[in-house]
Amino acid sequence: MEISEIKTSLTITRVLAHYNHQADKNHRINCPFHPDKTPSMQVYEKTNTVYCFSSNCKTHGKSLDVIDFIMHKEEITKHAAILKAVEMLGGTPAINKQRNQDFASEAKQTQTLPSEALAKEEILSKIFNYFRNGFIMRKESKARNYLESRNLNIIKLQNLGIVFGYNSAQFHHRGKLNAEDTKAAINAGLMKLRNQGNTEFTTYSIWAANCVIFPLTDKKGNITGLYGRSTSQSNAPKAGKHFYLKSSKGLFYSPKQDTKKLIITESIIDFLSIYQIDEIRKQYDFLPIYGTNRLTEEHLNAIRELKNLQEIVFFLDGDKAGTEAIKKYSEELNQLLPKTQISQVQTPKDEDINSLLQGHSEEIFTHLLDNRKFLFSSRKLSGENKKPVNPVQTKDAAQLNTKNQELLTYTTTELKITILGGIRISGLDRLKVTLKVIKQGDQNQIPVRYSLDLYHAKQVEQLTETIAQQLEISSSKAMKIISKMTTELEIYRQKRMEALKPKTAENYKMSDEETHAAVRYLKSKKLLTNTKNDIATSGIIGEQSNAMTGFVVNLSRKRSKPLHVMYLGSSGSGKTHLQEGLAQLIPKEDRIEATGLSDQSLYYEGLKLKGKILFIEDLDGAENVMYIIRELQSKGRITKRVAWRDNKGNTKTVEVVAEGPVVISSCTTKEKLYEDNANRCILLYIDQSREQDKKVMDYMKSKSTGKIIESEQEAIRKKMQNLQRMLKPIKVYNPFANLIELPPEVFKPRRSLPLLLGFIESLTFYHQYQRQRVYADSNGNPIEPYIQSTVEDIENSFALMKEVLFSKSDELSKAAREFLERLKKEVKQGDTFYTKEIRKKFRISASGSQRYMSELQSYGYVKIKNGNRYRGFEYSITDYSEYENLRQSIEKLFEAILLNIRKISSPVAQSSPVPSLGYLNTKEPVV
C-alpha cells in the first residue's frame, strides 16, 4: 500500500476518534500536544489535516496529516506511525503479515531516502507554508510591491481565497530544514547543490529566489507544483521572469462545476487582474493557463468536467503568439466540445489583461467582453448571450451607512455591525475600530463588542471566531462579512480624505483678446494717467496719490527687492478700505490676505510667499510676528531650525525656510508702537479732511441709488489684474541714481534712500513695455537683459513720494502735525489759546487733545504762557513757518536734482558715446 493511499483511506476524523477526540461545532479540538483550555487545534476534514494555532504548541506552524498526528501523539518514529496507520485501517501483522512486511520495507526506505511522491507532497506543502508566512508577515516586501505595481488588490484577492507566497531564498537557513527535508527539497528542484567538491561548507542555489510564489494543486487540494513570478524589473535576456518547478502538476485555480461561461487567460497574473473585478466575476469563471504553449492535459480535463459549460472565451495577449495560440487551441477545443461556443476577446495590440488594468478603468473589460468575436458556435446567440456583461444589478444586501460619521453601520442579511466612534482618517497603515455586532432578527441575542485593528490578521481571526461562537454563524461567513466591510471602510476613508484635501484654484488663463488689450494699455503714453483714473473708477474714492503709490509698491512683488507699505490713520479713517481696494486690483494668485497671524504661521508657507503680497488688515492682530515680519522685509526670507522626529523615531534638526520676495502691506493706528516696522515701509497717511469725508459719503449715496454699477467696477479690476499678469520680471537700473540725494532733514536716511530708489525702479518696471531692453555691455558682450529708468520715471516718483519724504523728515507724528497746522490756521500769530476751547472747536476727544499737546510741548512747538493746572494753561505757538520751510527745502532739492538730471540727459550732454551712460550697443523694443 502506498503512503498516499493510507492518507486517502484513513480520515483524520477516524484518527481523532481513536484517541477520544471529537471536534466541536467550529471543527476544533483541545490540542493534545500542549496544555489547552480553549480549543486551539482546527480540524480540516477536506484536506484531512489538523493545525494548531497556539504559539505554545511544538507543532505550531505545520499542518499535520494522519501519519504526522499519530507520530506526535504516540511519540514514535514515522515508520512506526505508518504501521500504526495501517493497523487502524484494519490490517494487523498477524492477518496481513506480507502486506505489512512490504509496507514496512517501503516505510524504512522512506526513512532513509524519501520516495518522490512522499517528498513532493510533504516538502512542497512545508516549503510553501514558509513562503506563505513570509508573505503575510512582511508588510513591506518585493512581492507586495510587485503585486501592487501591477494594480492587484492583495487584500481583496486574499479575501476571495487567493493564496500568495514570497520566496526570500532563506527557507534553508539556520537549520530550518533537517537532512531529510533538504534531500527532499533538492529532489523536488527547490534547491540545487552549488559546491559539491567543497567539504568545508555547503551552499545552494535556490529556485525562484525573490519571486512571488503561487501553489499548483490537484483536485484534492494537495500542492503538486509551484509557479514563481520574478519581482525584478530587469529586461535582461538572462533574467527569467517565469519559474515553474520541475515536474510541476496541478492547477492554480479550478473553475466551479456549475460554470456556464469560462474565460481562459494566458497567465496567473492576468487571471488575478480580471478575477478581482466583481461584475465580471459574477458572470464568468476562469481558467489560467501557463503561457501560449502550456494548455496542459490537466486544463483540458478541468474543462471536460464542466457539465453546464456553454461558452469558452479566450482572453489572451494582443500579440502574434496570443493570436496563434487562440487559433490552435480553439480548434482543439471545438473538436473536444463541439456543442460549446468558443469566442475570443480582441485584445488591443501589444496589450494584455494586466496592462489594460493599469492603463484603463475596469469598464474596458466590460466593453471588450461585450464586443468579443465568436469563432465557433453551433447555434445563434440567444438574447441572454447578447446581453451586456454588466446588466443592471439589484441593490446589494450589504451596505455601509455613513450618514453619521461617528456611528457608521454596516448591514448584511445575517449581521448588523455598528462602528462606534467612526474611523480615523489619518494613518493608512492601520484601521482601528470598535464594533458592536448583532445578528439580524434576533433581538434577545447578546451583541458582540470588540475593539481591533482590521489590518491585524490575528485580531480579525479572533473576532470572526467570537462572532461565530456567540452569534452561531459559520466562521467563514463571518470572515467574508468582515472582509467586505473592511473594503467598504477603505473606500469610505479614501473618499473622506479626498474631500478634506484643499482645493487649489488654477491660475487664471488670459484669452488672446485680453492679452492684446493689456499690452496696448501698458504701451500707452498716458499709462500713469489712465492707471490713476481706473483706480478711482474701481471704487477707491479720493486718495489718488496714496492709491497710486500703493499700486506701484504692490507691483514690486515681481522684483527681487520688493517694497513694503504701511497705511496709517485713526480708527474709521478708511485705511483698511484703501488697502482692500488695492488688493482687489491684484490677481488672486498673487495675494495672501490675513486678519491675524500666529507666531509660527509664516514659517510653513514655504515657497507660497514668493512673488506674493501679504495683506495684514491690522498689525494688532500680528503682534506675535512683528520680528518675523521685519526679517521678511529686510532679508526676503525667514528660517528656523526645529527638532523633527522621523518615522523611525530618530530626532533630527531640520531647517524650515519660507522664501520671498514678498510685499507686506499692513494697516495700523499706532505708528510709534510699530516704529521698527514703519522704518522699513513707505508710510501712507490717510486723508482725514472734511473734503475727503464728503467724497466718501457722496460715493455711498451714489452706490445706494444704483448710479454706481458694480459690473463696470469689476471689469476695471479684472483689466488691472490682467495688465499685471503681463508684467515679467526684468532687471532695472537707474543711470541717474548717483545724482539723487535725500534732504538732510530726513530721519534715518539709510532706510529712506533705498525706499526712494526702489520706488523709482518699480515705476520703471511698470513701464517695461515702453523701455528698450539692453542685451549687451559697452563692449558688445552679452549680459542679462535690463531696462533703464528715465527722467520721467524719476520726476513722477518724486511727485508721488514727496509726501512720504515730508513725513519721514518731520519729527512729529502725522496726527500731531495735522493738529498743529489746524492750530496755526485757528490761532493768529502772537495770540494764545486754551486746550479746552480748541478741543470744542476741533471736536476731538480730551485724551486726543492731551496726547497732541503733550507731543507738541515735548518737541517745543507750543509753550505755556500763563495759567495753572486748576484754571488751565494758556499756550502759544512758537514757530508758524517751520513746516512750510521744511516743505520748501525738500521741494527745492528735488527741483535741483531734476534740473541736473535733465541737463545730463539732454541731447547736448549725450554727444559722447552711448556706453558712457551705461546704454546699450544692442537695443530691442519690448513686445
Dump pLDDT digits (tens) for 757-798.
999 999 999 999 999 898 888 788 888 899 999 999 999 999
Task: Could you please state the CATH topology (level 3) that the domain comprising 252-392 is classified under.
Answer: Dna Topoisomerase Vi A Subunit; Chain: A, domain 2 (3.40.1360)
**Do the Cβ atoms of 886 and 880 come closer than 8 Å?**
no
CATH homologous superfamily of domain 114-250? DNA primase, catalytic core, N-terminal domain (3.90.980.10)
| Residue of higher predicted confidence among 740 and 921 | 740
Once rounded to an integer, what is the mean pLDDT over residues 735-759? 88
**Which cell numbers hold the place of 600?**
509660527
Residue 564, pLDDT > 80, answer: yes
Q: How many residues does the chain have?
A: 927
Average pLDDT for the chain: 83
Closest to 228 measured CA to CA, from 169, 314, 276, 177: 169
What DSSP state is assigned to residue 508? P
- Report the sign of the C-alpha dihedral through residues 283, 289, 293, 297, in that order: negative
Cα gap 775→920, rounded to integer Å: 7
**DSSP string of 717-773?**
HHHHHHHHHT----EEE-TTGGG----TT-SSHHHHHHHHHHHHHHHHHHTGGGSEE
Q: Which CATH class is domain 512-722?
A: alpha beta
Contacts of 867 (CB under 8 A, 6+ apart): 834, 873, 874
Phi, psi dihedrals of residue 671, rounded to the nearest 5°: -65, -45
Residue 894, pLDDT > 80, answer: yes
| Identical fold, 252-392 and 512-722 | no
Residue 97, pLDDT > 50, answer: no
Once rounded to an integer, what is the mean pLDDT over residues 554-562? 92
User: What pLDDT, on a 0 to 100 scale, did the predictor assign at position 120?
Assistant: 72
What DSSP state is assigned to residue 430? -
User: Which of 79-93, 181-195, 222-236, 509-523 bottoms out in mean pLDDT, i.e. has the lowest?
Assistant: 79-93
Q: Where does residue 43 rank: exposed (0-12), middle (13-18), buried (19+ CB within 10 A)?
A: buried
Q: How many CB atoms lie within 10 A of CB 386?
A: 9
Cα gap 723→586, rounded to integer Å: 10
Going by DSSP bridges, is the β-strand pair 872-877/833-834 parallel, antiparallel, or unpaired?
antiparallel
User: What pLDDT, on a 0 to 100 scale, did the predictor assign at position 927?
Assistant: 33
Give per-residue burial for 180-204: e unless 16+ CB within 10 Å, then b: bbbbbbbbbbbbeeeeeeeeeeeeb
**DSSP string of 457-477?**
HHHHHHHHHHHHHHHT--HHH
**Do the Cβ atoms of 7 and 66 come closer than 8 Å?**
yes
Backbone angle region of 687, left / alpha / beta, with phi > 0 → left and psi within -120 to 50 → alpha: beta
Residue 601, pLDDT > 80, answer: no
Cα gap 582→288, rounded to integer Å: 69
| Residue of higher predicted confidence among 765 and 679 | 765
User: What pLDDT, on a 0 to 100 scale, did the predictor assign at position 93?
Assistant: 39
Per the listing, cell 513570478 goes with: 229
User: What pLDDT, on a 0 to 100 scale, did the predictor assign at position 543?
Assistant: 86
**Do the Cβ atoms of 400 and 408 come closer than 8 Å?**
yes
Q: Terminus-to-terminus CA distance in the chain, angstroms?
A: 98
Helix or strand run (H / E) with residue 489:
helix 475-500
Cα gap 456→610, rounded to integer Å: 46
Q: Over the stretch 224-273, which tens digit does the pLDDT of each residue have? A: 889 999 887 665 544 568 888 877 888 999 999 999 999 999 999 999 99
Residue 606, pLDDT > 80, answer: no
Domain spans in the chain, listed from the N-terminal domain onward: 3-112, 114-250, 252-392, 399-499, 512-722, 730-829+880-927
- Side chain identity at residue 707, one-letter code: K
Would the pTM count as exceeding 0.85? no
**Do the Cβ atoms of 731 and 785 come closer than 8 Å?**
yes
**Do the Cβ atoms of 28 and 42 come closer than 8 Å?**
yes
Give 415's strand partners. 439
Going by DSSP bridges, is the β-strand pair 242-244/261-265 parallel, antiparallel, or unpaired?
unpaired
- Report the sign of the C-alpha dihedral through residues 736, 737, 743, 744, in that order: negative
Phi, psi dihedrals of residue 880, rounded to the nearest 5°: -90, -15
User: What pLDDT, on a 0 to 100 scale, did the predictor assign at position 608?
Assistant: 76
Residue 107, pLDDT > 60, answer: no
**Which cell numbers hold the place of 192?**
540545487
Cα gap 446→468, rounded to integer Å: 13
For residue 316, the SS3 value is coil
CATH homologous superfamily of domain 3-112? Zinc finger, CHC2-typedomain (3.90.580.10)
